[in-house]
Chain A
């Protein structure tokens, strides 16, 4: 447990020493990274260390004991973990390598004349596998905590690996318990085994009772530390964002203070950016209908110096027809921003039967019939485009009420839940 607290400081200390303090790397490892860590520390080849461990294992199991001891003693290298792009070996590969190692040891022992059927060898091997599983899991959790703190992208990995981790721990515990019971049974009769088990349970319960407050406090402190870390990062995020956006814009506004139009434009652009950052319900503009409209409205506001009030009801994933609707709406918004007195209201509603967008401005209006046929804008980009996609476009315009372009797209054909 104290390893976690020390390791980071140790890293900083070790940077100015030529021989690095031995640590266990988080990547490229077979079991727990002990061999790699030692190899780096001693400046020898990894395979040499591995062979040494294997050879020593046959010298009365010293290799195995040493390995476990180093595993416990060497801290995790938390710095290397900050690169989330480094691929990790998959769960199955790791489990397979573990099994291969254990079976290998077992076979070698058998070759040396150890009798598996009798005595404590098989249960012990099973217990080792179970313990290794649990140890590895706690290791992984510690590692994931660090990588998650380092990058938010890794958060998902933590979430998905948490469930798998619980399974691994459960399997490990079952293996260990099974092995211990088997050991007990093979050494004594069933009655004595039961007696021994209940005594063991009693003692375990007592220990749990005594150490509970201490463990509880430790756990709570740990979660508090994590929360503090997350909060500090959030604060740094906000500071960085404010610096990049709001402060920059304020500087620009000061410089442009004699140009009211430019000031208004800057303020509006910044307001929009800040708002979407604060309330961030935005989907991906490449993917959803409402987000795509929002992006286009923001574009047009800043390029045409207009105010577009956009209200959307419902949302859905974009398909080709909806994308065409967004493109037509964009055209209509440009039209409103140019000729509509710099103010427009856009209302979009989408449900499973129909998608509709209304673009309204208070300009002087125009007469559709009077537009020359070769003008591309309204006729081609809006009306024809809607018709090609099975929808329709209506233009209502008068000098008193301004212009409203209504776009409708029936969606009955595709079934969206």
Chain B
């Protein structure tokens, strides 16, 4: 099997070097970028499988990179990476088209797994992102007729287990599902997170001046 091709986008050279040292053996790192313009140029030129994208960049944020790349490289998947816990940053990036979100504190093996999952087209949810989703989709199910604006009970269960620190495999065991089914639920939640018009999500997005 050929190695996955990666591009690292982060304004801290030290962080890029660290990731390169950690992942260099398992992935083919084809490019690095430190700001928005460079990122768009490198990604369009190399067309990688996965981009590790820092949420905060000089010259804009992750959203600008997503807007500049997604129409041109439809096969490339983006995994957001951040030190920030601020929900508006994270939610805005995911709504901008990233397939998932992890914090920079993530361990090497977990990051490898997250990249693989992203490349496979699945969603990557950290416990914290699951918490945001539960917060955003909390309550008021009655006032949202649209299916996209609420979580199914099963999706809520999956999100709660992820928020409790369960891996996908552990979620599957707990709910007596296959891992594939868990991935399907998580991807459905991701789609809702990206497309839903819920007030809370709109507010997060507008706080980041995305609307």
| Interface set of A (CB-CB < 8 Å, partner B) | 275, 279, 309, 311-314, 344-345, 347, 349, 351, 358, 360, 401, 404
Contact = CB atoms under 8 A, between A and B. Distances in A.
B84 A345 contact: no
Which residue, of A275, A313, A401, has the highest number of chain B Cβ atoms within 10 A?
Answer: A313
B160 A275 contact: no
B170 A314 contact: no
Contact of B130 (A311, A344, A401): A311
Given A345-B164, A347-B160, A360-B164, A311 B138 contact: no
B135 A347 contact: no
Given A279-B86, A345-B127, A313 B164 contact: no
B208 interface: no
A313 B139 contact: no
Given A311-B163, A360-B164, A351 B128 contact: no
18 contacts: A279-B85, A279-B86, A309-B165, A311-B127, A311-B128, A311-B131, A311-B163, A312-B131, A313-B131, A313-B135, A313-B138, A314-B135, A347-B131, A349-B134, A351-B138, A360-B164, A360-B165, A401-B170
A309 B138 contact: no
Contacts of B131: 311-313, 347
B15 to A, nearest CB: 14
Contacts, number: 41
A401 B165 CA distance: 12
- Describe A's contact surface by its main secondary structure: strand
Which residue, of A314, A347, A401, has the highest number of chain B Cβ atoms within 10 A?
Answer: A347
A61 B166 CA distance: 85
A310 B135 CA distance: 14
B86 to A, nearest CB: 5
Contacts of A345: 127, 164-165
Nearest to B165: A345
A351 B131 CA distance: 14
A351 B139 contact: yes
A311 B127 CA distance: 7
Interface in B53-98: 84-86
Contacts of A349: 134, 160, 163
Contact of A404 (B86, B130, B138, B164): B164
B20 to A, nearest CB: 21
B163 A347 contact: yes
A123 B13 CA distance: 76
B144 to A, nearest CB: 16
A360 B170 CA distance: 12
B164 A347 contact: yes
A309 B127 CA distance: 8
A359 to B, nearest CB: 9
A273 to B, nearest CB: 13
A404 B86 CA distance: 27
